Chain A
């Protein structure tokens, strides 16, 4: 990035100062929830329910993590989560970009129809039961591919990628074609590399969606532990911690008068712990993708 400190005027300096101050404020406000979750997850659960935990634990314990991570199923589910995130992201980003390219070509005769067909689907869905029956018909139930195939094109992604492709000067694409590259060749060799910043953006969106999604596991694969994902397993742990606190089950009586402290976790402490466990890995994706967000990369690359 180019620096121009030499020319900085007093006005510029004031601007920079205010800007940095503002950003520091933003950091404080947006870092707080995570710092707070970290503190709660490292604090004794019962003690946390007294409230007043902010940035540091009052009674330090690893118990919440031990409790959450003791299930062997968690580790296998982590593998599935990684797989669906990686495969799902690659497939979806590639297919979305391909559609985006075709509807960015002004000469394409089906352009308007394809674009319209895709865009409309953003605003309706057939509903839960028809979708389920369809996936059943296609033998996607009880299968890993139910995480991938129903979502191979993200329409929002298509639209975003297209608007970037349309920002590429026509000359670049034309000259590629002039050199004898077909549409597919142009797409692979010219358009995809030029679109790296937007592809990185879209990858992030898709990856986060894949990583966080648990509803499809719940709906389609809930009885197959081998296809369970991290979020779903954490959800299970959360709900059973909830259940034992609120459900009045006969054999599970937590006597309110007895002196035995039995339940060492609470829904709040488990929720904090799972927030940390489930989101830290995916949060780390962004800094990694940021290197593709360098200004001028697209056009500079072509010129150079």
Chain B
């Protein structure tokens, strides 16, 4: 019974099937087939050797990760930096999108949009060297210069030498670099809000703030929720370039994250097995978070992923 109706439904919806199934096949070939590579995580992998001739080591590569004394610290830093980036990234991008929406001059708005997204195209190598210079205690250090002028500090601070400042510096750097880029998607979402709503609100005498709170923000909600779920799944991906480039020995206790750990003990050593094991671990965590977030969204009656 069930089968027949499924089949007949498929025939009925053949256009939808034709539109999606070929791409689904593509997905299996390009995304699912390479997953056999996860076997590498359980080997002492040597390239050029046949799969069955590889040395199998069970969970050794995972043990190396979990039993390392720095594992706890590395995870803490990863989660801390991801969360800071996530929260700061969302708040600043949504705020900027709303503020841009409130600008009256179309061309000024476009100029701000274009310029604010430009730092996204600067590599972290370049960006970090600008940041290091700005935070310097030498005459180029504009941050110290301003703080001294304002009398907030009495002598220049060596910002990058203190672990306690690191997350803040990193969060600020991420915002600076990606704010404009992150805003684009919200700007696109704002276009779907019916202008009639604003007109009606204006006639009702709603203030600017009220219009933002009761029209713009609710209009953005679906996109915000979807992005939030997607990003929660990526919480272990806090990136490694800025941490690597801005960190140093004095701040390593705060800057070393999972990706840097994998970089050091996996990729830099040519140890594909360990790098793969770390990837598998991340996937497991991502799936747990993704399904939980999706489930919660469903419970709350919010848009969800699947």
Contacts and interface: CB of A to CB of B under 8 A. Distances in A.
A125 B279 contact: yes
B19 A187 contact: yes
B33 interface: yes
Interface in B251-287: 272, 275-276, 279-280, 282-283, 286-287
Contact of B114 (A32, A212, A287): A287
Interface residues of B, number: 95
A160 interface: yes
A11 B207 contact: yes
Contacts of A118: 27
A128 B99 CA distance: 42
Interface in B108-165: 108, 110-119, 121-123, 125-127, 129-130, 133, 140
Given A1-B106, A19-B99, A201-B188, A126 B38 contact: yes
Nearest to A282: B121
Interface in A189-240: 197-198, 200-201, 204, 208, 212
A127 B20 contact: no
B1 interface: no
Given A183-B19, A286-B117, A295 B191 contact: yes
Interface string B199-235: 1001000011000000000000011001000100110
B88 interface: no
B6 A109 contact: yes
A125 B34 contact: yes
Interface in B15-34: 15-21, 23-24, 26-34
B47 A129 contact: yes
Given A129-B40, A293-B188, A5 B19 contact: no
A118 B117 CA distance: 29
Contact of A121 (B27, B117, B190): B27
Interface in B25-77: 26-38, 40, 47
A203 B106 CA distance: 22
Contacts of B28: 117
Interface stretch (B78-86, B179-187, B239-247): B179-187
Contacts, number: 250
Contacts of B299: none
A71 interface: no
B116 A30 contact: yes
A108 interface: yes
A239 B19 CA distance: 44
A266 B9 CA distance: 65
B296 interface: no
A117 B28 CA distance: 9
Contacts of B199: 2
Interface of B: 6, 9-10, 13, 15-21, 23-24, 26-38, 40, 47, 96, 99-104, 106, 108, 110-119, 121-123, 125-127, 129-130, 133, 140, 176, 179-180, 184-185, 187-195, 198-199, 202, 207-208, 222-223, 226, 230, 233-234, 272, 275-276, 279-280, 282-283, 286-287, 290, 303, 305-306
